[in-house]
Amino acid sequence: MPPESVALAQPATKPTDRTAARARAVRNRTLLVQGCRLLVLAAVLGLWEWFARTGVIDPFNFSMPSRIWDQIWTWTAHGTAQGPLGAQIWATLYEALYGWVIGVAAGVLLGIALGRVRFLADVFGPYVKILNAMPRIVLAPIFLIWFGLGPASKIASAVVLVFFPVFFNAFQGAREVDRNLVANARILGASDRRVTFQVVIPSATSWIFTSLHISFGFALIGAIVGEYIGATEGIGLLVANSQGTLNSAGVYAAMVILAVVALAAEGLLTLVEKRLFRWKPVQPGAER
Amino acid sequence: MTHHTSPAIELRGAGKAFRTPSGALHTAVRELDLTVERGEFVAVVGPTGCGKSTTLTLVSGLEEPTEGEVLVGGEPVRGIGGDVGFVFQQDAVFPWRTVLSNVMAGPRFRGVAKTEARERARDWLARVGLSAFEDRYPHQLSGGQRKRVALAATFVNDPSILLMDEPFSALDVQTRALMSDQLLELWAGTGSSVVFVTHDLEESIALADKVVVMTAGPATVKEVFTIDLPRPRKVEEVRLEPRFVEIYREIWSSLGEEVRITRERGTADAA
């Protein structure tokens, strides 16, 4: 056998070996990461439980995971003092969603309008800044006085929290549209209206979507704080009542439920985003 | 009618000055006199950053001259005209539209019905050889393919004036030669007048009927050379001809001086 053929045969088998090894390494790493994640969770919950049971921390104030779990279970199985748990979650979700939709719609509309029309931006700019500088959460008690104990006051606080981040992102997005794209559209024959709808809005959507993620969290905060101050139902009221009866497990349980709700909403939003941004290249490292 | 006898583009003492952010007045171009006949391919060469692109924005109506006059088809330019096409240096295709939808954009913006716009777009995509890619998004294409999309999107509007701002400068040398040939082919059938801005002298001679040399900034026309090379041309073959080399040497003696001035200024700024 001539020596060349030996040399040729080797690289033919090697790459497949290497690909398999690489795939194995990736799989192992994923397993390792997920294993460690579970371990961290178990360690934190375990230590918490252990400290609470041995009296290192006061279980009355700090509660413990088993009690929190029991509380969630009781609420799920037998309902809360204010009615079934599902109704409480739905009440909060309803207020948050309602407020979020209004806040997002207003934020996007005004953001794009002010981003596109210089005159409007010059007139309203300072007022928007002043309103944004206010700690808007203090408006919640005022909304309670205006709109009463029902959902309207919570929706209002969610709206004021959601509006500003969405507005600023839409405004920035409309401002930072690639000038070449606008020039190109105009040369191709687009009217001002067309430029707004077919160039400015599509290129601002990635900006707007960034704000949608955080703003849903804000909507939940608005709804919860509103409920906490005064309501007839909702998770915020659950927190307030648990606190009132010195039931710390109840406060934590409400928090856990909220976190699950927020994560589910976030997941839904990501799904919509993926569908909407098919035109975008997948960024390396963005997949987790 | 003056409309048909007048040249395609005429610049009469046109100038453009910008207000810089610091408040100073920056003159990009001054005292520009230039005539582009109907169906003529004019290349504008000059040192980097001398204000060549500004000339195009004045003709396109994207910017107004601060001095003098710019006439297209014998009429002063007021805003963006309907029969102007513009190919930009950077990618200006819409990233959220598919290839087909990008090429349809122009006719759609101009109120052409969807089915007709699609037909015309498909026709031009076939001419630039991208029929198989009509459902792709721009990020899935190579730089050369994106440029072809831009060409198709411009030609589909059937512009009588075609303005090109260093359109192929971001491409590699081979793709560039390919695109230049394709441009000549596409243009040959249209009878449109072209102003092609570049800093590459070889490219300008290979493509144009007339090469305009600009001075170092603030730019104005220094000299105009007529290129008497026969058409149809293949850019990679034509540059080997003795006449091409002769013309190149002649124009470079004019352009080289301006390039040197710009370079000296650059080193002076850096010092």
Which CATH number do you get for residue A213?
A: 1.10.3720.10
Q: Which residues of B touch A180 (CB under 8 A)?
A: 88, 90-92
Domain annotation covers residue A126: yes
Which B residues in the span 93-152 are in contact with A, Cβ-Cβ below 8 Å?
93-98, 105-106, 109-110, 137-140
Q: Could you give the number of structural domains in chain A?
A: 2
What is the predicted pLDDT for the residue at A13? 53
Please check whether residues A146 and A243 belong to one and the same domain: yes
Give dist(CA A179, CA B225) in Å, integer. Answer: 34
Please check whether residues A44 and A117 belong to one and the same domain: no
Please check whether residues A214 and A89 belong to one and the same domain: yes
In degrees, to the nearest 5, what angle opens at C-alpha B86 toward C-alphas B16 and B229? 95
Give the start-to-end residue ranges of the domains of chain B: 37-61+78-83+159-270
Please check whether residues A30 and A107 belong to one and the same domain: no
Please check whether residues A74 and A19 belong to one and the same domain: no
Domain annotation covers residue A193: yes
What is the predicted pLDDT for the residue at B98? 93
Closest partner CB to B82 (pick from A183, A189, A279):
A189
What is the predicted pLDDT for the residue at B106? 92
Domain annotation covers residue A246: yes
DSSP for A152-191, please give it.
Answer: HHHHHHHHHHHHHHHHHHHHHHHHTS-HHHHHHHHHHT--
Bridge-partner residues for A83, per DSSP? A80
Please check whether residues A44 and A73 belong to one and the same domain: no
Domain annotation covers residue A165: yes
Domain annotation covers residue A13: yes
Q: Which residues of A touch B (CB under 8 A)?
A: 178, 180-181, 183-191, 194, 198-199, 202-203, 278-281
Please check whether residues A93 and A233 belong to one and the same domain: yes
pLDDT per position in chain B (271 positions), as tens? 445 578 899 999 888 888 888 888 888 888 889 999 999 999 999 887 778 888 899 999 988 899 999 999 888 888 888 889 999 988 789 999 999 999 999 999 999 999 999 999 999 999 899 999 999 999 999 988 999 999 999 999 999 999 999 999 888 888 888 889 989 998 988 889 999 999 889 999 999 999 999 988 788 899 999 999 998 899 889 989 999 999 999 999 999 888 888 888 877 655 4
Choose the final residue of a domain: A21, A38, A57: A57
Q: Cβ–Cβ of A203/B96 closer than 8 Å?
A: yes
Please check whether residues A36 and A158 belong to one and the same domain: no
Q: Is B79 exposed, middle or buried (0-12, 13-18, 19+ CB in 10 A)?
A: exposed
In degrees, to the nearest 5, what angle opens at C-alpha B261 toward C-alphas B45 and B265? 115
- Edge to edge, the sheet with strand B193-198 lists B84-87, B161-165, B193-198, B41-45, B210-214, B221-226
Q: What are the tokens at B151? A: 């060409």
Give dist(CA B250, CA B234) in Å, integer. Answer: 21
Q: Which residues of B touch A201 (CB under 8 A)?
A: none
ipTM: 0.85
Closest Cα in chain A to B136? A279
Q: Cβ–Cβ of A278/B137 closer than 8 Å?
A: yes
Stretches in chain A below the pLDDT threshold 70: 1-15, 282-288
Domain annotation covers residue A49: yes
Q: Cβ–Cβ of A279/B82 closer than 8 Å?
A: no
Please check whether residues A77 and A154 belong to one and the same domain: yes
Give dist(CA A268, CA B2) in Å, integer. Answer: 63
> Is CATH 3.40.50.150 the classification given to domain B37-61+78-83+159-270?
no
In degrees, to the nearest 5, what angle opens at C-alpha A258 toward C-alphas A256 and A259? 65
Q: Which residues of A touch B110 (CB under 8 A)?
A: 188-189
Domain annotation covers residue A282: no
Q: Which residues of A touch B82 (CB under 8 A)?
A: 189
What is the predicted pLDDT for the residue at A6? 45
Domain annotation covers residue A53: yes
- Eight-class DSSP state of B135: T
Residue A287 to residues A99, A271, A281, A282, B95: CA-CA distances in angstroms? 31, 13, 12, 8, 21
Closest CA to B50 of B220, B167, B260, B224: B220
Strand, coil or helix: B225: strand
Which B residues in the span 37-96 are in contact with A, Cβ-Cβ below 8 Å?
60, 62, 80, 82, 84-86, 88, 90-96
Residue A72 to residues A60, A92, A223, A262, A270: CA-CA distances in angstroms? 17, 17, 21, 17, 28
What is the predicted pLDDT for the residue at B105? 93
Please check whether residues A179 and A271 belong to one and the same domain: yes
Which residue range forms the structural domain that includes residue A47?
3-57
Closest Cα in chain A to B89? A180
Please check whether residues A246 and A183 belong to one and the same domain: yes
What is the predicted pLDDT for the residue at A269? 84
What is the predicted pLDDT for the residue at A2? 46
The continuous run of DSSP H or E covering B76 comes out as: strand B75-76
Please check whether residues A146 and A219 belong to one and the same domain: yes
Give dist(CA B197, CA B42) in Å, integer. Answer: 9
